[in-house]
Structure 1
Amino acid sequence: MDGDRRGWLQCLLSGAVFAVCMAGTTLPTPLYPLYQEKFGFSELTVTVVYAVYAFAVIAVLLLAGNVSDAVGRRPVLLWGLGFAAASAICFLCATGLGWLYVGRLFSGLSAGLFTGAATVYVMELAPEGGASRATFVATAANMGGLGCGPLLAGVLAEYAAWPLYLPFVVHLALATGSAALLLWWLPETVRERRPLSTVRPQRPGVPPQVRKAFVPAAIASFAGFALFGVFTSVSPAFLAQFLDVDNHAVSGLVVALAFFSSTAGQLAVGRVGLERSLPLGCAGLLAGLALLAGALHWDLLSLVVLSAIVGGVGQGLAFRGALSAVAQASPADRRASVISTLFVVAYAGISVPVIGVGLLTSPIGLEGAGLVFIACMAVLVSTAGVYLLRRPVRTTT
């Protein structure tokens, strides 16, 4: 096997490991109504359980986002798989709400370790000159894995036995079996490794030369991940309460469509170009938010589906453009930490607005809370669009 073919094989296999880990983080999504029925908690509690995951991701990115630059990618990713397995075990043992919090905490630790390190690892394993395609593999593995989680759990919960157990058994087998073996076989890409004792927690921030690209990338990432956060945390409740959709497979599919559409949007970047992907992605996010507003106002499943697809495509366009712009502007020895900082902003988008929706649900209802969320995100996306019109971000392929 020549060097390029071997490099692309390793790139794809590392992407598969990335996808397996991320799938575990969204497995509980279509199962939340079952947990609510079993343990008797409110919609606000659902958003808090979901946000525990995001806060754990942010903590790891801040405290250890640059660890893989020092100790190597593979050791960090193996720890990430270990936390993914621990999360699955917590859900398998769940006898009360506390287990869900701990399970989501471990899931967040897993995703936090994987997010920056795996993204850079996939890109570094690709052959020279393949940066653009490797970025697509990394972001597609991330979003594709996130989409597979609710789809797998929804189908198993609806059509197989043990709906609160079987999805986590399957993921535990994947994380401790095939993914761990693949990661053990793949090579290390960090040539000059340093002891863990030399690593210091990083502050949020980016080098001066990266800031022009980082600002619009961060705004678009925040809004796109916030849209996904709302879909992932409260859409099953909305479908059940207002549209009488109690099929777990359908709930999982709606959420999965958003993530799969993101992957399609990332693939479309090759046609529209990296420079245009960020502004076009912002336009797609605005359209997706408008469709979601219509779905909330008129209680239409078709608009929920269209919102997931259109908003997902917009998020994919914007996120791949954002990741490419930031990665290309970053110095090689700071790349993982800068990408981790971008993900800190993105996961803040998943957590803070979602909790806000949960808090507003009691006084103004789920529909009203959703409309407030949409208005806020529309302002943010419009701000990023105006910034990009005034200061376009230049990228290379």
Structure 2
Amino acid sequence: MAGTTLPTPLYGLYREELGFSELLVTVVFAVYAIGVIATLLLAGDYSDEAGRKPVLLVALGLSAASALCFLFEGGLPLLFAGRLLSGLAAGLLSGTATAAVLELAAPGREARAALVATAAGMGGLGCGPLLSGLLAQYAPWPLRLTYLVNLALVAVACVLTWLLPETVRHPVRWPRLRPRGLTVPPGVHGVFAPSALAAFVGFALLGLFLAVAPAFLSQTLNEHNLAVSGAVVFAVFLASTAGQALLGKVGIRRALPGGCLFLVLGLLLVGASLAAESLPLLVLGAFCGGLGHGLAFRAGLAAVSAAAPPEQRGGTISAYFVVAYLGISLPVVGVGALTLALGLKNAGLVFTVCLVVLSAAIGLRVRRRPLPET
């Protein structure tokens, strides 16, 4: 998952090298989400039949191919290809790896397994910008070394994945791909809708930091240190991981409305940082918003996973991630388009206001009709 966010602090360098606008930055970023969504729709439940290990190994192969595209990048085509391949890899990993970790858990350890799965995903996404920012700022070959390191990490992950036991009984060697769209079992709808919408808002906040925050730091705050840019993005995911760790103490019923509350607070702080041009407010907004994302995202994932029948768990989790990744793509491209007419600051303010309204509405809904605790 770290490989999917490595380019975040580097977009400014790519802009200087290739000369494209902020809108194109968000489009390049969104190609990743398109790859994720397409994979989830086409093969979201493929591992339920083919087995977890083969799908995970294919995902790691796609991740390596993405790194090679960025390593040999010579223009926009390879940037788009690299982002698309990383999206395909993440699409296969998101539902499959989560289901595999849950199934590998010993009886009574499902809650710990859910934390491991979601924290690994969020932790990886956060470590990507931190790693690339540090290497680009303080090491040679700022647009190359990051991807060499990533290839080495992917190789280690392939070895570890190969050693895992298969958790799917009687996997089919080459099952036929059967696109099924966003199919959610009927009995899961009441849990799925508010959980997925909260994930949509949380991922939209992540998308803002991944695609737009580096430009805001350099163009508005005059902060050109790539390590700082990567650290600010890392703060969101660090807080998200902390929020996920709190679920066991808070409980699902309180975690989702509480997560929406922190999302609202974080978004308001991000909006205030845009208006006041303040780095401390932006960092504080990153921590609050990330904490809200972690609480809401893991509570929703745990509720959806528990409600789904075992034979449809992989597909249901993938549908949950589809809605989440729509949040990380569509609003961010909207911000990029608005920057052409309103400028970066005003586009960010419009974005935060819209998400505050949506997050508050979801929080009130789950406050009145709480999710089941188990």
8 Å contact kept, 1:78–1:183: yes
Aligned counterparts of 1:361 and 1:253: Cα–Cα separation in 2: 24
1:38-90 C-alpha deviation (Å, 9 max, x unpaired): 11111001000000000010000000001000000000000000000000000
Partner of 1:29: 8
Q: Which amino acid aligns with 2:321?
A: F
Aligned counterparts of 2:330 and 2:146: Cα–Cα separation in 1: 28
Local SS of the residue matching 2:168: coil
Partner of 2:203: 225
Aligned counterparts of 1:295 and 1:167: Cα–Cα separation in 2: 30
Matched, 1:254 2:232: yes
Partner of 2:250: 272
Aligned counterparts of 2:241 and 2:51: Cα–Cα separation in 1: 28
Matched, 1:210 2:188: yes
Aligned counterparts of 1:76 and 1:380: Cα–Cα separation in 2: 35
Partner of 1:104: 83
Following TM superposition, by how much is the alpha carbon of 1:152 offset from its aligned partner in structure 2, in angstroms?
A: 0.2
Which of 172, 185, 192 does residue 194 from structure 1 map onto? 172
Which of 24, 30, 42 does residue 51 from structure 1 map onto? 30
Tell me which moved more, 308-317 or 197-206. 197-206
Q: How many residues of Structure 1 are paired with residues of Structure 2 in the alignment?
A: 374
Q: Which amino acid aligns with 1:327?
A: S
Q: How does 1:360-371 map to 2 (within 5 A)?
A: 360-371=338-349
Partner of 1:124: 103
Unaligned runs of 5+ in 2: none
CA-based RMSD of the aligned residues comes to 0.8
Q: Which amino acid aligns with 2:159?
A: L
Aligned counterparts of 2:357 and 2:286: Cα–Cα separation in 1: 19
Q: TM-score, normalised by structure 2?
A: 0.99
Partner of 1:373: 351
Tell me which moved more, 350-359 or 199-208. 199-208
Partner of 1:138: 117
Aligned counterparts of 1:134 and 1:275: Cα–Cα separation in 2: 19
Matched, 1:149 2:128: yes
8 Å contact kept, 2:50–2:175: no
Unaligned runs of 5+ in 1: 1-21
Partner of 1:9: none
8 Å contact kept, 1:70–1:199: no
Which of 278, 281, 290 does residue 300 from structure 1 map onto? 278
Q: TM-score, normalised by structure 1?
A: 0.93
1:210-265 C-alpha deviation (Å, 9 max, x unpaired): 01111110110000000000100010100001111000000000001101110000
Question: Identity across aligned pairs (percent)?
Answer: 57
Which of 142, 155, 163 does residue 142 from structure 2 map onto? 163
Following TM superposition, by how much is the alpha carbon of 1:98 offset from its aligned partner in structure 2, in angstroms?
A: 1.1
Q: Which amino acid aligns with 1:48?
A: V
Partner of 2:322: 344
8 Å contact kept, 2:235–2:286: yes
Aligned counterparts of 2:279 and 2:117: Cα–Cα separation in 1: 31
8 Å contact kept, 2:42–2:177: no
Moved over 3 A (4+): 195-199
Q: Which amino acid aligns with 1:89?
A: L
Which of 45, 52, 72 does residue 93 from structure 1 map onto? 72
